Amino acid sequence: MVRLKRLKSPVHLIFLASVLVQFLPTRTKKAGDPVYAEVLLLLLELLFIILTLSKPLNKENRTQNGVFGVIFSFLGIWTLLTAKFVVIPQDIFKAPDVVAEQFLNDFPRLMKDLSSSMSTIIAGYSLALLTAIPAGLFLGWNTQIGKVSEQVTNFLGSIPPIVFIPYSLALLPTFKSCSVFVIFITAFFSGPFRNSERCTEHKCTDAEQCKSIVCIKTVNAV
133 with 101, same domain?
A: no
What pTM was computed for the model? 0.69
- Whether 180 and 127 have beta carbons less than 8 Å apart is answered as yes
> Of 75, 105, 135, which residue is a domain's last?
105
CA torsion, points 67, 2, 42, 18, in degrees to nearest 10? -60
* Mean pLDDT to the nearest integer, 203-220: 43
78 with 136, same domain?
A: no
116 with 100, same domain?
A: no
Residue 178 lies in domain: 109-221
Chain mean position to CA 13:
31
201 with 170, same domain?
A: yes
Half-sphere exposure of 122 toward its Cβ, with a 13 Å CA cutoff? 6
113 with 100, same domain?
A: no
Look at residues 137, 160, 151 and name the one whose alpha carbon lies nearest to residue 216.
137
88 sits in the region (left: phi over 0; alpha: psi -120 to 50; else beta) called beta
26 with 66, same domain?
A: yes
3-state secondary structure at position 71: helix
> Of 105, 134, 169, which residue is a domain's last?
105
Measured CA to CA, the distance from residue 192 to residue 35 in angstroms comes to 51
Q: Could you report the per-residue pLDDT of 37-56, keeping only the tens digit for each?
A: 999 999 999 999 999 888 87
For position 3, what pLDDT does the model report? Answer: 66
93 with 169, same domain?
A: no
7 with 41, same domain?
A: yes
Residues with Cβ within 8 Å of residue 186, at least 6 apart in sequence: 124, 128, 161
> Of 54, 87, 105, which residue is a domain's last?
105
Domain tally for the chain?
2
149 with 205, same domain?
A: yes
Q: Could you report the per-residue pLDDT of 116-168, keeping only the tens digit for each?
A: 999 999 999 999 889 888 887 887 787 777 777 777 777 877 888 889 899 99
